[in-house]
Amino acid sequence: MVVERERDLTLSASARQTVEEIDDALKRIETGDYGYSGRSGLPIPRERLKALPWTTELVQERAGGIGSY
């Protein structure tokens, strides 16, 4: 029972995080920043946006490549 509750809380937190990321993406659409990396300012490829519409990073940045610190 406790394990199920912990799992439900984890899923709930994950769902909330995803909703927040989607809301942020909608704000970026309004401001004209959607589709550009928040790190480097480079355009995010359309294929990546189709796969993960709320992303703010290029694959290379996410993996620790360009633009990483």
Give the closest residue to 67 by CA, choosing from 34, 48, 44.
44
Task: Classify residue 62 as exposed, middle or buried by CB count within 10 Å of its CB (0-12, 13-18, 19+).
Answer: middle
| pLDDT, position 69 | 46
| pLDDT, position 66 | 58
Per-residue pLDDT tens over the stretch 2-57: 778 777 777 788 888 999 999 999 999 999 999 999 999 999 999 999 999 999 99
Place of tokens 């990073």: 57
Give the closest residue to 58 by CA, choosing from 31, 26, 67.
67
The length of the chain in residues reads 69
Distance (Å, whole) CA 10 – CA 4: 10
The CATH homologous superfamily of the domain defined by 2-62? DksA, coiled-coil domain (1.20.120.910)
Instruction: Answer with the residue of higher pLDDT: 69 or 34.
Output: 34
